[in-house]
Structure 1
Amino acid sequence: MPSTTEKLYEVYMEFRDVPGAFARITGKLVDLDIEQISTQCTVVKRGELAECMIVIDASKAKIQSIDELKKKLMEVPDVRMVSIRPLRR
């Protein structure tokens, strides 16, 4: 049964399709103590553009706001766009 203290969000990202890009993104989430619940990624154009939809639990995150999370993710090399919204159950 899910915890009542979960802070679930849906993170949509677009980034360059280059080796290590997704690893850098997930590494940033780990650094911020953000748990990945579900991940779905697709290459839109090989060698150019990829996209991911990641469901996260930010209840233990080392950030103060979702805007701060967006800023931190945009700082990751190769990330082009980040959109975050609360996950509705």
Structure 2
Amino acid sequence: MLYALILAGGKGTRLYPLSRSDTPKQFLKVVNNKSFLVNTVERIKPLVETSNIYVVTNRDYVDKIKEELPDIPHENIFIEPANKETPY
């Protein structure tokens, strides 16, 4: 049985000016009019059952994640306790 963990909590500051805090890179629609997040889930769905896909995000993006990924169980969306951001 396979599981997938998608990290989608970053602010996307390194992709500035395309991404901003209100629209970080995981929500950008650069390819095929779907966000990076949706494209990622669609790529792994043939390999991983939807019930085994988990997403880690920050408090600011929970509603947007739920909107973009309605098939992912809400209990599979985790809120990170503190945003650490990867250092440059």
TM-score by length of structure 1 reads: 0.30
Q: TM-score, normalised by structure 2?
A: 0.30
Name the structure with the higher helix share: 2
Query: In proportion to residue count, which structure has more strand?
Result: 1
Greater length-normalized contact order (CA 8 Å, ≥ 6 residues apart): 1
